[in-house]
Amino acid sequence: MSDVHRNVSSEREELILVDADDNETGFGTKADCHDGEGVLHRAFSLFLFNAEGELLLQQRGNQKRLWPGFWSNSCCSHPRRGETMPVATLRRLSDELNISAQLEYIYQFCYQARFSEAGSENELCHVFLGRLDGAVRPNDSEIESIRFITATNLDKELALHPERFTPWFIDEWRTLREDYAGPLARYAI
């Protein structure tokens, strides 16, 4: 099976449950963590920029349980039981985009968002910025499409069509623009 078509996630994988201070409280399956209102679990969001300072966006795969076909940040997922954040982020970059990247931790926050009757995200999310290292080859079992966009054009698109984007991405981008403009300026144009 080609590395751009391989299945890399399962509703049975065990995620790390946490409290609002990011202390581990146990483990739960991905399915259980996203059922109903969700159970608070550890997650990460990666914002990757090319050499021209454009952000890589991904359109989530149409088979995704939550927010299928919505545009979102470059890569997001969860550490699995027993995984550190550095191991999990590098694994997921390889799984979804077939790349590696140097990542800079920026901040973390809790959020909860419901997607109709399909379930919810309920995450303590660690947000990272990074520079792309190598050609992106999206895994089409996870990603419908990718594109690059400048910060200015993204701001315009979010103002006109927020319904096309995942809720966590909208919140993260706003926070990066308003509270972390210095670190963001090292990557984005």
Angle between helices 167-179 and 151-160 (to 10 degrees): 130
R_g (Cα) of the chain, nearest Å: 16
Question: Does residue 1 have a pLDDT over 90?
Answer: no
Task: Output the CA angle 35-169-189, nearest 5 degrees.
Answer: 165
How far are the Cα atoms of 69, 94, 128, 169 from residue 52, in angstroms, in the given order?
A: 26, 22, 18, 21
Give the pLDDT score at 117. Answer: 87
Which is the catalytic residue, given 96, 121, 123, 172? 123
Residue 2 — pLDDT band, cuts 50, 70, 90? very low
Domains in the chain: ranges and CATH:
14-185 (3.90.79.10)
What is the pLDDT, as a whole number, of residue 12? 76
33, 75, 76, 125: the active-site residue: 76
Quick check: is 125 catalytic?
Answer: no
Helices (H), the chain: 30-34, 85-97, 151-160, 167-179, 181-185
123 is an active site residue: yes
Q: Which residue has the tokens 């201070």?
A: 21
**pTM (2 d.p.):** 0.93
3-state secondary structure of 92: helix
What's the pLDDT score for residue 111? 95
Using one digit for the tens of pLDDT, what is the confidence trace for 95-137? 999 999 999 999 999 999 999 888 889 999 999 999 997 789 9
- Among 99, 122, 96, CA closest to 33: 122
